């Protein structure tokens, strides 16, 4: 079995982190940027912290969203 990547968020960690995040209702009018799931955004933040890359180089193919949605 392959080792999990350091930026993968397992269910146990997510159960601790998710309650700390504010619940924000999407606005129907002027919704702003495209929404990305909080868990993926958190994984994107961990990816940047682990690899040391800049936000602009966050790989889109991993599904984290753009660097601008991860802060």
Tell me the per-residue pLDDT of 2-47, one tens digit each, with 9 for 90 and over: 777 877 889 999 999 999 999 877 777 777 777 778 898 888 889 8
State the average pLDDT over residues 42-60.
Answer: 86
Does 58 have pLDDT greater than 90?
A: no
Instruction: Look up residue 12 and give its two tokens.
Output: 């146990």
Q: How far is CA 66 from CA 14, 33, 40, 42, 45, in A?
A: 21, 11, 11, 12, 11
CA distance 66 to 47: 12
Between CA 15 and CA 59, with CA 44 as vertex, the angle to 5 degrees is 150
Of residues 67 and 19, more confidence is placed in 19
Instruction: Provide the pLDDT for residue 12.
Output: 95
Instruction: Provide the pLDDT for residue 24.
Output: 79
């Amino acid at each position: 079995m392959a080792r999990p990547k350091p930026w993968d968020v397992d269910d146990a960690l997510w159960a601790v982190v998710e309650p700390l995040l504010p619940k924000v209702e999407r606005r129907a009018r002027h919704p702003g940027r495209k929404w990305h799931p909080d868990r993926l955004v958190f994984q994107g933040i961990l990816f940047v912290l682990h690899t040391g890359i800049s936000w602009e180089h966050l790989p889109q193919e991993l599904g984290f969203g753009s660097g601008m949605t991860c802060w």
